[in-house]
Amino acid sequence: MKAALFATALAVAGATAQSVPPFRYGTPSPNAPGVKGVNSNGPTNPKTPQLNTPINQKSESRLASLNSVDDWCTFGPRDPGTVIGDVEGETVAYCTKARNNARVIPDGTVTAAHFVKTPLYVQLMALGDFTKIGIVAGDEGGELDPHGATNMGNPVGGNVTSNVSGEDVFYEEWMNYVSYNQVCFRICIAGSDQAPTADVCEHELDVMGCNFVMPGNYADNVFETCDGDAAYPPGHYPQPDGSTSTFHQFFTGEYVVNGQTMQYTNGAADQVTPTAAYSTPSTSNCRTTDTIKNGIASLVPAVSSSSSSASSSAATSTGASSSGMASSRAGSSTSGGSRAPAATGSNSASGASSSSGNASGALSLQASGILASLAAVVAGAYLL
C-alpha cells in the first residue's frame, strides 16, 4: 500500500486536551488467537533471531526484531534511492545491532528513540536521518505489515520477533511506518476479546502516519524506555452512548495475480478524515540513556556526501514541520493520557484534534496540496 498523503497540525481546531479513561482491554493473553506467528518464516531469513551475525549491507534478510531502545529493526529499501511506497513488498530489514543476518543501521542515523512496552504491544518511535539506510530525502514513506494487498506481506517473506516476554517469539500482527526522518513500529504481543490483535495492530491506515496510528512521545534528542498504557485501537473513537465509531481510511488500488489485474476499495469517498488519534496513552517508569550505537565504524562514511548532509539537515531542522512531527511532551518521563474533543463525519469515525502538538507523523501532504488540505481539515471535510 502506498503512503504519502496526510499529515497536519493537530492545533488546527484549537481544541484543549483533557484527561480520558484508559482503554479497557480486559485480560490480555500471550496465547490469544492472532498473537503468535503462524506465517512461514521468509526464505531469506535465519531460522531464529540471532545477535552478532555477519555484517552484510546487501543482505536480503527480512527478519525484524523489536527488543529494546537500542536493539530494534525497521524495514527499508532493498535498493537505496527507491521510493518506499513503490517497493514495500521488496523491503529488507535494517537493525541497530548486527543481528538476524540483516543490514545494520549506521551510528549517527538515529537522533531519538522511544521504546514502550504495554500489556498489548511493544512500540518503537524513532527520529533520525534515514537517508543513511537508503531512503530518498523527502520521501514521506510507507507502511509495512504482514498482509499487503495480496495478503503475502509487505515485505513478502517478512517476519518479526520480540524478546520482551523473556524469550524470542515470532508474532503474527505488526505494523511499521518508515520515512526519511521517522520510524514507528508496533508488534502486538497479547490479545483479548476486547482487544484482538488485528484491531490493535490495524494495518489499513497507511496515509495517517505515526502519531495517528501509534500515538506516543516523538520528542527528538531523547532515548528512553517506558512502561505504558495501551492506546485505543487505531481509528476507534468511543462515543458518549457507549458505542464505538470506527474510521476506515478511503483508498482504491489494484494488484496483479497470475496476470489478472484485481481492484479494491477501502472506506468511502464521502467520509470525513479525523485529524488525530482518540487519545495519547500515559507512560510511566521511564528510563533514559544518552544515545544508542553499535560502534561499527566501517558503516559510517569518513566524509558525508552533499546530498546526505542536505538530507540530514532537512531531517533535523525542518522535519518537524514537513512531516507534521511535533511532540506533546519534551522527553518527560511520565505523561498522562489525553485526548481532544471529536467531531463526527459521515461514514467515518469522529475526528479528534488537540493543542498538545502531536501530529500525524511520518506521512505528510505533498507540498503542492498543503494549503488546500489544511483548509479542508479546518472545514471538517478532508476527502482522501
Q: Give CA 223 to chain center in angstroms.
A: 17
pTM beyond 0.85: the answer is no
Q: What is the pLDDT of residue 329?
A: 31
Q: Distance (Å, rounded) from C-alpha 278 to C-alpha 234?
A: 8
- Residue-level pLDDT at 295: 95
Look at residue 258 in the predicted model and tell me its pLDDT: 79
What distances in angstroms separate CA 218 from CA 128, 207, 275, 302, 365, one per listed residue? 11, 18, 17, 29, 19
Paired sense of beta strands 92-95 and 103-104, if any: parallel
* Phi and psi torsions of 207, nearest 5°: -85, 0
311 neighbors 129 (Cβ within 8 angstroms): yes
C-alpha cell of 89? 513488498
Return the pLDDT at 205. Answer: 65
- Which has the closest alpha carbon to 88: 138, 42, 34, 153? 153
Phi, psi dihedrals of residue 175, rounded to the nearest 5°: -150, 140
Closest CA to 357 of 245, 219, 173: 219
- CA nearest neighbour of 6 among 140, 177, 207: 207
The single-letter code of the amino acid at 322 is S
Let me know: does 235 contact 246? Beta carbons within 8 Å. yes
pLDDT by residue, tens only, the chain of 384 residues: 433 333 323 322 222 334 678 899 999 999 999 999 988 899 999 999 999 999 999 999 999 999 999 999 999 999 999 999 999 999 999 999 999 999 999 999 999 999 999 999 999 999 999 999 999 999 998 899 999 777 788 999 999 999 999 999 999 999 999 999 999 999 999 999 999 999 999 877 676 789 889 999 999 999 999 999 999 998 777 777 776 766 666 566 676 777 888 776 655 666 666 777 778 999 999 999 999 999 998 897 654 333 444 333 333 333 333 333 333 333 333 345 544 333 333 333 333 333 333 333 344 333 333 333 333 333 332 223
User: What φ, ψ does residue 95 adopt, rounded to 5°?
Assistant: -125, 155
* Residue whose C-alpha is closest to residue 207's, from 189, 234, 239, 181: 234
Query: Nearest 10 degrees: CA dihedral of 279, 213, 208, 152?
Result: -160
What residues form DSSP beta bridges with 176? 144, 185
Q: Is 297 helix (H, G, I), strand (E, B) or coil?
A: helix
From residue 89, give the alpha-carbon distance in Å to each of 75, 135, 150, 378. Answer: 10, 15, 10, 35
On whether the CB atoms of residues 101 and 50 are closer than 8 A, the answer is yes
CA distance 310 to 129: 10
Q: Which ranges of 206-267 does DSSP label H, i.e. alpha helix?
A: 210-213
pLDDT at 14: 27
314 DSSP assignment: I
Give the per-residue pLDDT at 253.
Answer: 67
